[in-house]
């Protein structure tokens, strides 16, 4: 059985390389867990917030990196009902894709996307009920286990991955976990009972996973590493272990993510806020940063 170190080493070695500079703009979200809009769809509560935020980022020229568990393919058997429930989301993501601004990583809940044939069969086209025709969605798209952002001037590398490589149960036995979620935890989730196999709901496992990733980071000269998986936002100060976590899009009433802009990184939250006149609006809240990525460079 491979260790966490070997799994993370492999993800880093095989990572897609994306050059960037201080003019580049990236937004990072993970753990959307887009579902079928049923009572078990945790994403449904935040989909309007997510759509608004992503629409803003598209208009402002950002590239979108999704760090795994974008689609909830443990609770749902196929992509079709997910697409039908959130078609507006995928049509927006398609706009990023057409402009080569969409970069996708697979996590444990959408681990089937590591199979190029599965991706080709399910994500290349969609059926348009209005015209009765198949139309392109993400033709030729590739999912990755990791992404390396490499700065054109400093050569600093920023490693993006889902983070479940440090969670041996949800990596090695993901099919067994998927089975348990479908037959047991999905019905119980509707009744409000949490899945104990999820590190987001099991604090002891969460700490173990974070510790393993931090060990890998320190073994690799404190490389800036951004993950998801545990749903717990992390934003270190320069000089600390460069372990970042963008949180998730299934927090109660808000989503969290990260921005890389002007060579700096920030942790942000989008939520619904009440205006003075009582109307509601979706607002962006800066939680941490911006801090220059160069401040995390170690000799």
Rounded CA gap, 257 and 282, in Å?
A: 15
Residue pair 27/64 in contact (Cβ under 8 Å)? The answer is: yes
Of 96, 18, 83, 32, the C-alpha closest to 251 is 32
Residue pair 174/111 in contact (Cβ under 8 Å)? The answer is: yes
pLDDT of residue 297: 81
pLDDT of residue 88: 97
Residues of the chain below pLDDT 50: 1, 197
**Residue 208 neighbours by CB under 8 Å, 6+ apart:** none
Give me the domain span that covers residue 132: 4-296
pLDDT of residue 298: 72
**Residue 129 neighbours by CB under 8 Å, 6+ apart:** none
pLDDT of residue 187: 63
DSSP 225-263: EEE-SS---B-PPTTS--EEE---S-BTTEEEEEEEETT
Q: How many domains is the chain built from?
A: 1
Query: Directed axis angle between helix 47-59 and helix 87-98, to 10°?
Result: 20
Rounded CA gap, 290 and 297, in Å?
A: 16
The CATH code of the domain that includes 61 is: 3.60.21.10
Of 121, 127, 115, 123, the C-alpha closest to 71 is 123
pLDDT of residue 204: 77
CB-CB neighbours of 280 under 10 Å = 9
**How does DSSP classify residue 115?**
S
Strands (E), the chain: 16-20, 25-29, 63-67, 102-105, 125-128, 133-136, 143-144, 146-151, 157-161, 224-227, 243-245, 254-261, 264-274, 280-292
pLDDT of residue 79: 96
Count of residues for the chain? 299
pLDDT of residue 173: 53
pTM value surpassing 0.75? yes
């Amino acid at each position: 059985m491979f260790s966490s170190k070997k799994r993370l080493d492999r993800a880093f070695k095989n990572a897609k390389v994306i050059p960037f500079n201080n003019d580049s703009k990236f937004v990072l979200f993970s753990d959307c867990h887009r579902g079928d809009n049923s009572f078990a769809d945790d994403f449904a509560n935040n989909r309007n917030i997510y759509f608004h935020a992503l629409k803003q980022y598209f208009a402002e020229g950002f590239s979108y990196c999704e760090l795994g568990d974008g689609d909830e393919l443990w609770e749902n058997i196929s992509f079709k009902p997910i697409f039908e429930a959130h078609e507006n989301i995928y049509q927006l993501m398609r706009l990023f894709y057409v402009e080569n601004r969409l970069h996708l990583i697979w996590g444990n809940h959408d681990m089937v996307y590591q199979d190029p044939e599965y991706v080709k069969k399910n994500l290349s086209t969609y059926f348009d009920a209005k015209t009765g025709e198949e139309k392109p969605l993400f033709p030729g798209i590739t999912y990755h286990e990791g992404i390396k952002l490499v700065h054109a001037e400093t050569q600093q590398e920023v490693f993006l991955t889902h983070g479940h490589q440090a969670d041996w149960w949800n990596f090695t036995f993901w099919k067994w976990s998927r089975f348990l979620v479908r037959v047991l935890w999905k019905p119980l989730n509707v009744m409000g009972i949490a899945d104990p196999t999820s590190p987001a709901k099991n604090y002891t496992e969460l700490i173990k996973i974070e510790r393993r990733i931090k060990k890998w980071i320190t073994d690799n000269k404190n490389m800036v590493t951004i993950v998801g998986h545990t749903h717990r936002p992390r934003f270190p100060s320069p000089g600390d272990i460069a372990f970042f976590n963008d949180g998730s899009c299934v927090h109660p009433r808000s989503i969290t993510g990260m921005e890389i802009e002007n060579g700096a990184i920030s942790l942000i939250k989008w939520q619904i806020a009440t205006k003075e006149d009582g109307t509601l609006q979706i607002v962006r809240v800066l939680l941490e940063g911006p801090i220059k990525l160069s401040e995390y460079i170690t000799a």
